[in-house]
Amino acid sequence: MHPMLDFLNDLFKRYLVEVVLGITVGLWWAFRERLKDKAATIRRLKEDIERREIELGKMRRDLTAAKSRCDDLEQHVPQAALGLVEKELADNDDGPAHRAVVEWFEADGETVSKLLLRRAEWTAARAAGEMRAMGLAAASAYATAAVALHPEIRRHRSGLRISKASNGRRRMYFLIW
C-alpha cells in the first residue's frame, strides 16, 4: 500500500474517533444538562406544591371560621328565631317555642333595645319642641319596649325623665328614657 493511503487511513480513523467521541461527549453533556433542568423543574414544582398546600390549609381554616361566623350570625337573625318559634308552635310545643324567644332576647335583646332607645330619643327630640302628644307617646312606647326587651339597659343610661305635654285642655305625662 501506498504510504499516503496509510496516512489518510490513519487520519480518517483518528478523525472518526474524534467525531464519535465529540458526539458522545456532546450527547452526554446535553443529557446531563437536561437532567439538571428536569431536576430543577421538579424541585420548583415540589416547592410550588408545598406553598400551595400551605395556602390551601390557610384558606380552609379561613373558610371554617367564616362558616362558623355565618352560622352564628344566622342564629341571631330575627327571622331565624321567628321560624323556630313558628315551627315549635306548629308542633304544639309551647315550651321550646318560649325558650327560643327568651334565648333570642337574651342574645340580641340588648342590641335591639339600644336601637329602640335611639329611636325613642330621636322621636322625643322632634316631638318635644312642638309638644306633639302623639310623637311623645311614640317615644314613650319605644323607650318602654327598649326596657322590656332588655331591663339591664337602665344601668347604661342616666335615667328616666318625665316629659309633660299640653295640647290645650289637658296635660299628658310621658316616660322618656
In tens, the pLDDT along 20-71 reads 888 898 888 888 887 777 778 888 899 999 999 999 999 999 999 999 998 8
Final residue before a domain boundary, out of 44, 75, 106:
75
Final residue before a domain boundary, out of 58, 75, 92:
75
Assess whether pLDDT exceeds 70 at residue 155.
no
The residue type at 136: L
Q: What are phi and psi of 164, to 5 degrees?
A: -110, 130
What is the C-alpha R_g of the chain? Answer: 43
Final residue before a domain boundary, out of 57, 75, 93:
75
Whether 37 and 120 map to the same domain: the answer is no
* Cell numbers that stand for 148 in this block: 322590656
Whether 92 and 27 map to the same domain: the answer is no
> Which pLDDT score is estimated for 65?
95
Helix (H, G, I), strand (E, B) or coil at 126: helix
Domain coverage including residue 93: 78-176
Which residues are CB-neighbours of 127 under 8 A, at least 6 positions away?
133, 134, 135, 136, 138, 139, 165
Whether 110 and 68 map to the same domain: the answer is no
Number of domains in the chain: 2
Q: pLDDT for 95-144, tens place per residue?
A: 888 888 888 888 888 888 888 888 888 887 777 666 677 777 787 788 88
Whether 102 and 57 map to the same domain: the answer is no
- CA-nearest of 106, 80, 84, 103 to 93 is 84
Whether 113 and 70 map to the same domain: the answer is no
Helix 94-128 and helix 78-90: axis angle, to 10°? 140
The residue type at 139: A
Whether 96 and 159 map to the same domain: the answer is yes
* Cell numbers that stand for 146 in this block: 327598649
Whether 92 and 136 map to the same domain: the answer is yes
Whether 90 and 172 map to the same domain: the answer is yes
Whether 62 and 103 map to the same domain: the answer is no
